[in-house]
Amino acid sequence: MMKIYLFLVPLFLVIACSKRIEDEHTRVLIPWPNESGKYSLQVVNIETLNDMREMKGSAAELYVQAGLNKDSIKGVKPNAQFSKSSKGYWVPKDTITQEMASIYAHMERLKALDQEIGIDILLSWPRQIGVETIATDSRNNKRIYENAMYISEQDVMLFFPYRRNQLPISLNAGIIAHEHFHSIFQRIVLDPLSARYNIEEMNRESISLKPRTDAEIEKKETVLNNMFILRGLNEGLADVWGSIYTGEADFISPSLRTLQRNTSPLNTSEYSLQAYVPIIRASQSMQTLENAAYALGTQYARSMRKAMGEEKLASSTKMGQAIFVVERMTRLRDLLIDGFDNKVPAEVLLQAIYKKDELNAENCKWINPLLEDIDSEYKTTCKALLAK
């Protein structure tokens, strides 16, 4: 089925074909969000793009019809097609060029944010990014569409073909930021955790696990629990990063889950690992548990955003919000490293947001309902503060 993008410009509005960039700042007409999160064609400055044909610069290198080798990305070198308008800005002539220009422009700004808060040195630049990626889902052997992902083994971001009549994922600022965040989480949390624990093996074990007996379930329960919590944390904080970058909490609702729901307890049966044990036994599949990890991630995202609001960071600069998240991630990393031999508690993110000596009656008002069905010293501290 042919894709229909609603943002292409008629060719009679442009006058010349492009080769290489000579301007100090490249001005490109691409879909871009306004302050209210609505997308429209806007002229956007790109400062670091060195090669317009191959879409290469200090922020990113892009590949078309991308795939993966053992250690790197592979794909066709881009042959981006632009025309120059009478007003001097460049106009993408096809949808792939539009996708690549959008991704590069956002990556340039995400790199600038990383530099502001001092975490750019943790990552390799330029970032390696594939568009129109050709891949199949190993679980059902079907072609992957309408998706984007970060692959830690090769340290690359991949965007897959989009067939719906909505805003393509590769043009969605929040989703691009979300995927970029996974590389940050990898460096700050997962790599240090992996230095002590074999996270990759645990991840494979949790995904491929097909337990049949009670004994097998019990033996693997700690691994399942901890990988479940890790996935939820990674996805939830990536959602927060996307909302920081865009200023929109619900930036991915057209194709994915929504963040705009009422807060509910973190550890009700809806998100309890134990509730999924019968399902795992029956189906011998981890898909249900993986889906639940995304739901838990939504809970974590709302919790972090609530904390940012309580700390008066909701109206702060992107830099102030991002620093808050990164500082809490370093706390989270330390909690995980210290406690990964045992089951990580569902409230671990709350413990990272507020240490016990940082709890007070005000923050416990919204934290305590999240701890329903949880019996912990952290909850006891909150209850005591509220009882005063």
The two tokens of residue 218 are: 């019990």
For the cut 90, the answer to whether the pLDDT of residue 181 exceeds it is yes
Report the share of the chain in percent with pLDDT over 70: 80
For the cut 60, the answer to whether the pLDDT of residue 5 exceeds it is no
The two tokens of residue 189 are: 């949390």
- The pLDDT score that the predictor gives to residue 69 is 74
- CB–CB of 306/263 below 8 Å? yes
Does 142 share its domain with 255? no
CA angle, residues 250, 167, 184, in degrees to nearest 5:
55
What is the C-alpha radius of gyration for the chain, rounded to an integer number of angstroms?
A: 22
- pLDDT tens digit string along 325-359? 999 999 999 999 999 988 898 899 999 999 999 99
Mean pLDDT value of segment 71-76: 80
For the cut 50, the answer to whether the pLDDT of residue 18 exceeds it is no
Domain end, chosen from 171, 200, 225, is at 171
- CB–CB of 242/251 below 8 Å? yes
Read off the CATH number of the domain in which 93 is found. Answer: 3.10.170
For the cut 80, the answer to whether the pLDDT of residue 157 exceeds it is yes
Please report which confidence band the pLDDT of residue 212 belongs to, taking 50, 70 and 90 as the band edges. low
Domain end, chosen from 125, 155, 171, is at 171
CA angle, residues 40, 45, 50, in degrees to nearest 5:
125
Does 17 share its domain with 141? yes
For the cut 50, the answer to whether the pLDDT of residue 29 exceeds it is yes
Instruction: Look at 12 and 285; give whichever has higher pLDDT.
Output: 285
- The pLDDT score that the predictor gives to residue 271 is 65
Please report which confidence band the pLDDT of residue 130 belongs to, taking 50, 70 and 90 as the band edges. very high
- The pLDDT score that the predictor gives to residue 7 is 57
Strongest mean pLDDT among 15-19, 49-53, 62-66, 204-208: 49-53
The two tokens of residue 240 are: 């927060």
- The pLDDT score that the predictor gives to residue 280 is 55
- The pLDDT score that the predictor gives to residue 260 is 53
- The pLDDT score that the predictor gives to residue 239 is 94
Peptide bond into 126 cis (omega under 30): yes
Does 318 share its domain with 182? yes
Does 98 share its domain with 199? no
What is the per-residue DSSP string for 10-58? PGGGEEEE--S--SSSEEEEEEEE-TTS-EEEEEEEESSEEETTTTEES
Domain end, chosen from 134, 154, 171, is at 171
Question: How many domains, in total, are found in the chain?
Answer: 2
CA 378 to chain centre: 28
- pLDDT tens digit string along 289-317? 777 788 889 889 999 999 988 777 656 78
Dihedral of CA atoms 367, 368, 369, 372 in degrees, nearest 10, equals 120
State the DSSP H helix or E strand holding residue 288, giving kind and residue range, or none if neither: helix 287-310
- pLDDT tens digit string along 249-293? 888 765 555 555 555 677 666 666 666 556 555 555 566 777 778
CA 375 to chain centre: 31
Q: Which long-range contacts (CB under 8 A, 24 or more apart) does 274-282 make?
A: 277/217, 280/209, 280/211, 280/217, 281/211, 281/212, 281/217
Does 209 share its domain with 307? yes
- The pLDDT score that the predictor gives to residue 310 is 75
- The pLDDT score that the predictor gives to residue 342 is 87
| Mean of the per-residue pLDDT values of the chain | 84
- The pLDDT score that the predictor gives to residue 19 is 45
- Amino acid found at 99: E
Mean pLDDT value of segment 117-144: 90
Does 337 share its domain with 200? yes
For the cut 60, the answer to whether the pLDDT of residue 21 exceeds it is no
Mean pLDDT value of segment 208-232: 73
Does 299 share its domain with 343? yes
- CB–CB of 194/111 below 8 Å? no
- The pLDDT score that the predictor gives to residue 4 is 37
- The pLDDT score that the predictor gives to residue 106 is 98
Does 214 share its domain with 161? no
Residue 5 lies in a domain: no
Does 186 share its domain with 272? yes
- The pLDDT score that the predictor gives to residue 281 is 56
Note the residue count of the chain: 388
Q: Which domain holds residue 167?
A: 11-171
Q: List all residues 6 or more positions away from 36 whose beta carbon is below 8 Å from its beta carbon.
A: none
Instruction: Look at 19 and 57; give whichever has higher pLDDT.
Output: 57
